[in-house]
Amino acid sequence: MALLTLAEAKAQLDIDTTTHDTELQTYIDALTATIERIVGPVENRTVTEVIEGRSTTLCLKSVPAVSLTSVTPVHTSGDTLSVADLHLDGTTGIVRRLDGGTFRGGLWTWVYVAGRGTVAPTINLASRILLQHLWRTQYGAARGNIGGGDDYDVNEPVVGWGYAIPNRVLQLLEPYKVPPAVA
């Protein structure tokens, strides 16, 4: 599953030759990290992380989380748990023990699947618009007015993003933003 296929990218840019396929694929590949920085993992992937347990809940870093694969204490003195003993809130990444107990015993190694399973049409559209914007920075007027005139001028960049991501992309991704991290 990709955020954007080569065929979708070429359709968005009105390209009907294979001349730029290699370069265009580089742009497509680069979109994933940028989009996922805002919305979290889209493409499903296995994540392994070590989290210190001291309370009745733990919070996974990569959300949304699809499923838990395993949880093991780093030190053998900790409790052992089965994923069947746990409840995962996939949207927030919060994990609770079903028996109401605490995650004690120090560090735990968590293996889980993070992602969305499918690419929402809005995320795909945001990816297309971002590709169009980035492609235009490379080819500009030489490729004609891809996207139409000054449509991609940015007068007031969003703090932290500069001019790399147009506001329209950020607005499309807003409903899918990951919750802020909790320290």
Per residue in 67-117, pLDDT tens? 999 998 887 665 678 999 999 999 999 999 999 988 877 888 999 999 998
Q: What's the predicted TM-score (pTM) here?
A: 0.75
Helix (H, G, I), strand (E, B) or coil at 51: strand
Per the CB < 8 A criterion, the answer to whether 103 and 74 are in contact is: no
pLDDT, mean over the chain: 84
Q: Which H/E stretch holds residue 10?
A: helix 6-12
Exposed / middle / buried, residue 26 (Cβ in 10 Å: 0-12, 13-18, 19+): exposed
Residue 146: pLDDT above 90?
A: no
Structure confidence at residue 151 (pLDDT): 46
All structural domains of the chain with their residue ranges: 6-41+119-176, 45-114
Q: What proportion of the chain, given as a percentage, has pLDDT over 90?
A: 54
Structure confidence at residue 152 (pLDDT): 47
Q: Residue 59 carries which DSSP code?
A: E
Residue 44 structure tokens? 């499903």
